[in-house]
Structure 1
Amino acid sequence: MLELYLNNPFEMELRESEALPGPTGDEVKIKLIYGGICGTDLNVFKGGINYAKYPVRPGHELLGTIVEAGEDALYPSGTRVVVQPNTFCGRCVKCKKGLTNVCQNKKSLGINTDGGFSEEFVISSRFVLPVPDDLTDERAILIEPFAVVVHALRKVKIDKDVSVAIVGCGNEGKLAVLMASYLGAKVTAIDINPLKLEKVGRMVENIRTALPDEVAGETFDIVVEAAGTRASIEQGMQLVTPGGSMVMIGITSEAHFPVAHVVRNEITLYGSIIYNFPDDFLQTIEYLRNDNFQVDPVVSMILPVSDYEQAFENAFSGDYGKIILDFRGDHSE
C-alpha cells in the first residue's frame, strides 16, 4: 500500500507500507480517490506549526470510498464519502455546547495524528459523510476546504446590498469571493500578487480586484481576512466601515490591535476556525450541488500521487489554485 510520509520537516517520501487490518466497531476503511493539498499541509511540511508531530502522514482534504465497514459503522461498504479531519470527543464542555470545532480534545489529521494521503486508511465513521451521487469527485473534494468559508460567512449577513472585501486570494480567499458573489454582494478581492488577482478576476464576473494600496482610505460593510499575515489583518481592520464586521479566517501569530479604532467605530470582529460537523458540510454540499455555483476554476490541476514532489513545489509557488493528488490506480514509479 502506497502512502506519503513526512519523517521530519522537508523530508517527505512516497513509500510502501503494510496492508491495514480490517476496521472494527464504528470504523470504516476508505480507499482514497482524491486528496487536496492545503496551506496547512505546506506549513506542516516546512515545520511551521508548533503543535505538529513527526513523523506523520499528511493529508486532511480527503474523498474516497468505503471498502470495509466495522460491525457498528454508520455507513456500508461502497459509500463514497468525504472526511471531517478534525476529530472531536463529544464529551467536553465545548462539544456539549455544540462547539465541536473548538473541542478541548481535538486531533487534526495530518498534523498531530496521521492523515489520509494513503491508498487506504481507517477512521471512525463518525467523521465521514456520504457524498450525493450527483456531485462529481472534482467538486466533492472541495467540500472540506469550502466548509471553512461557509462556517465563517454564517457569522455575517451577506446579500445584494452589502459591500464585501476579501483580503487574500489563496484557495480559501477564492472560495470566499465565489460565495460572497453568489450571494449577491458587491465584492472587492485584494491581494499583493497580481497573478492571483488576474485569476480571481477571470473566475467571477462583476467583481473588482485591487492591490492593497489601491483601496487605501476605502471602507466596506464586511471584510473577510483570508491571507493570515500581520499586514493583511491590520489593513483589514482599517477597511471596515463604522458599524461593520470583519471575519478572520487566516492565522498569524500576532498583529497590532487598534483598540480605539475598533471601539469608536463599533466594529465587530469574528474569529472563525474550521467548521461544525455535519451542519457546515451539509450546507456546503448544497452549494456545490447547484450548477449555478461555479467553483470549478478553483482547482488548478490533478496529479497522480507519484508526482507529489511536483505537486508540492507548485503549491509552494503560490501561482496555482487548488492542487489535487489522485490516489487511484497504479502509481508506483
Structure 2
Amino acid sequence: MNAHQLVSFRKPLALIAKQLPKPVGSEVLLRVVAAGVCHTDLHVQDGGFDLGAGRLLDFKDRGMQLPLTPGHETVGTPVAAGPDAKLQLSGNYLVYPWIGCGDCPVCLEGDENLCAQPRFLGVHRNGGYADHILVPHPRYLIDIGNLDAPSIAPLACSGLTAFSAIAKLGDAIKDSPVLVLGAGGLGLMAIALLKSLDARGAVVVDVDEGKLQAARAAGAIAAVNGRADSTVQDITRALGGPAQLVIDCVGSTESARVSLDCLGKRGRIVIVGLFGGSAEWPLPLIPIKAACIQGSYVGNLRELRALVQLAQDGMIVLPQVSKFDCCAVNDVLGRLRRGGITGRAVLVSET
C-alpha cells in the first residue's frame, strides 16, 4: 500500500510504500475512498499547538511517533477484517477517529475523544492519507449508505466539532442568533448546521472577504469584517444587541478578545478553534458579565452517529467540498496553511 507519511516535523509528507496490514482480532482494514484535509493536520505537521507566551504543546510528549500517516476525516470500504470483527465487507463507512484507551472512566462513559491516553487515528495511529486504513474495531465505523463520500468525510471532524459545540448551547439557539468567529471550513459547517437545526441563524466574523462571501452564500444573517475598527459595533448591530451565544472557530488571541468584548451578561462562549496563542481577557469582566466560557473538543461517537443520521434523513445541508487527487496532499496542505482553501478540501482516490 502507499501512504503519505510525516517523517519529520515541519516537512512535507513523503509517499512511502508499505506492506498492506493484515487485520487481527477486531480490526477492520478499509480501502480509503475519501480523506478530508483539516487545519488540525497542519498542527500535526508542525508537531504541536501554540499555547502562547512562547509555549508549545509538544505532540512528541503526548505519544506521537514518526513516521505517521495523518488524516482523520476518512471514508472507506471494508476489504478485510479480523476474526472477531462482525462486519459485512461492502459499502462505504465514515471512520470515527477520536479513539481512546477504552478502559478509563471517560471512555466507559462514551467520551473517548477526551481520553487522557488517546489513540486518535491520524494523530497517534496511522490515518487516512493512504490507500488503506486500519481501524481497531467495527464500532468506529458508521455506514453512510448512498451518501456522497467526499461530502461526508469532513463530518468526522469539522462537522462533529460544530455539532458538539452547537449542542452545548442547547435550546438557546432557537431564541438568539449565534456569533460564529471564523468562516473557514469549521465556521461554514456551523452555519449550515444552525440553518438545518432551525436556529435563529448566525452572524459570522472573518478577516478574509472571500470567506465572508462564502458565509453569506451559506445563509449567514450577516458577515462582519474582523479587521475593521468598528468590528465590535458592527457585530452588536447585526445581532441586535450584545452576543448571548458565541462559537469561536478560530481560537486565537484576537478571536478571544472579540468574543468577550461582544458578550452580553449571562452569555456563553464555546471555543473550538485551535489556531493558538493565549487569551488576554480583562478578568473582572468575566464575573461582571457572569460569562460562561467552555471548551469543546471534537465530539463523541454518539454525536457523530446522530450527525450522520441527520444527513441520511436529509435534515442537514452539507457545505460544498473541493475535491483533490490524493497525490496532491502536500499542495493542499500548503494552500490550507496560506488560507487559500474556502470550505473543506477532500482528497479522493484515483480508483
Instruction: State whether structure 2 residue 141 is matched by structure 1 residue 117.
Output: no
Whether contact under 8 Å (2:79, 2:90) holds in the other structure is: yes
- What SS does structure 1 have at the residue aligned with 2:151? helix
Write out the 4+ residue segments of structure 1 that deviate beyond 4 Å after TM superposition. Answer: none
Deviation at 1:191, TM superposition (A): 0.8
Q: Give the Cα–Cα distance (whole angstroms) in 1 for the partners of residues 334 and 264 of structure 2.
A: 39
Deviation at 1:14, TM superposition (A): 4.7
Q: Give the Cα–Cα distance (whole angstroms) in 1 for the partners of residues 334 and 277 of structure 2.
A: 25
After TM superposition, the structure 1 stretch with the greater mean CA deviation from structure 2, 48-57 or 35-44, is 48-57
Whether contact under 8 Å (1:195, 1:319) holds in the other structure is: no
Instruction: State whether structure 2 residue 178 is matched by structure 1 residue 155.
Output: no
Among residues 301, 304, 317, which one is paired with 1:294 in the alignment? 317
Residues 208-247 of structure 1 aligned to structure 2 (within 5 Å): 208-212=222-226, 213=228, 214-217=230-233, 218=236, 219-247=242-270
Counterpart of 1:273 in structure 2 is 297
- What SS does structure 2 have at the residue aligned with 1:76? coil
Change (3 A) 1:134 1:327: closer
Q: Give the Cα–Cα distance (whole angstroms) in 1 for the partners of residues 316 and 96 of structure 2.
A: 22
Deviation at 1:285, TM superposition (A): 0.8
Residues 95-110 of structure 1 aligned to structure 2 (within 5 Å): 95-110=107-122
Whether contact under 8 Å (1:20, 1:121) holds in the other structure is: no
Deviation at 1:272, TM superposition (A): 0.4
Instruction: State whether structure 2 residue 330 is matched by structure 1 residue 323.
Output: no
- What SS does structure 2 have at the residue aligned with 1:12? coil
For residues 212-267 of structure 1, the C-alpha deviation after alignment (integer angstroms, 9 at most, x for no partner) is: 34441422120110112111012112222111211110133421233311111111
Instruction: State whether structure 2 residue 194 is matched by structure 1 residue 180.
Output: yes
- What SS does structure 2 have at the residue aligned with 1:95? helix
Residues 15-164 of structure 1 aligned to structure 2 (within 5 Å): 15-49=15-49, 50-51=58-59, 52-126=64-138, 128-145=140-157, 146-157=159-170, 158-164=172-178
How many corresponding residue pairs? 325
Q: Aligned partner of 1:162: which letter?
A: S
Q: Give the Cα–Cα distance (whole angstroms) in 2 for the partners of residues 199 and 280 of structure 1.
A: 26
Give % identity.
22
Q: Aligned partner of 2:180: which letter?
A: I
Q: Give the Cα–Cα distance (whole angstroms) in 2 for the partners of residues 274 and 266 of structure 1.
A: 26
Deviation at 1:324, TM superposition (A): 0.9
Change (3 A) 1:26 1:328: farther
Q: Aligned partner of 2:289: which letter?
A: N
Where in structure 1 are there 5+ consecutive unaligned residues? none
Whether contact under 8 Å (2:186, 2:249) holds in the other structure is: yes
After TM superposition, the structure 1 stretch with the greater mean CA deviation from structure 2, 46-55 or 101-110, is 46-55
Normalising by structure 1, we get a TM-score of 0.90
Q: Give the Cα–Cα distance (whole angstroms) in 2 for the partners of residues 266 and 116 of structure 1.
A: 43
Q: Aligned partner of 1:246: which letter?
A: I
For residues 16-61 of structure 1, the C-alpha deviation after alignment (integer angstroms, 9 at most, x for no partner) is: 4233232111001110001110001122223444214332111111
Among residues 182, 187, 191, which one is paired with 1:168 in the alignment? 182
- What SS does structure 1 have at the residue aligned with 2:7? strand
Instruction: State whether structure 2 residue 214 is matched by structure 1 residue 193.
Output: no
- What SS does structure 2 have at the residue aligned with 1:319? coil
Q: Aligned partner of 1:8: which letter?
A: S
Q: Give the Cα–Cα distance (whole angstroms) in 1 for the partners of residues 115 and 43 of structure 2.
A: 22
Q: CA RMSD in A?
A: 2.0
Counterpart of 2:286 in structure 1 is 262
Change (3 A) 1:241 1:138: same
Q: Give the Cα–Cα distance (whole angstroms) in 2 for the partners of residues 35 and 94 of structure 1.
A: 28
Deviation at 1:167, TM superposition (A): 0.6
Whether contact under 8 Å (1:79, 1:130) holds in the other structure is: no
Normalising by structure 2, we get a TM-score of 0.86
Change (3 A) 1:162 1:281: same
Deviation at 1:318, TM superposition (A): 1.3
Where in structure 2 are there 5+ consecutive unaligned residues? 50-57, 237-241
Q: Give the Cα–Cα distance (whole angstroms) in 1 for the partners of residues 201 and 74 of structure 2.
A: 33
Instruction: State whether structure 2 residue 225 is matched by structure 1 residue 203.
Output: no
Q: Give the Cα–Cα distance (whole angstroms) in 2 for the partners of residues 289 and 90 of structure 1.
A: 28
Q: Give the Cα–Cα distance (whole angstroms) in 1 for the partners of residues 211 and 94 of structure 2.
A: 28
- What SS does structure 2 have at the residue aligned with 1:155? helix
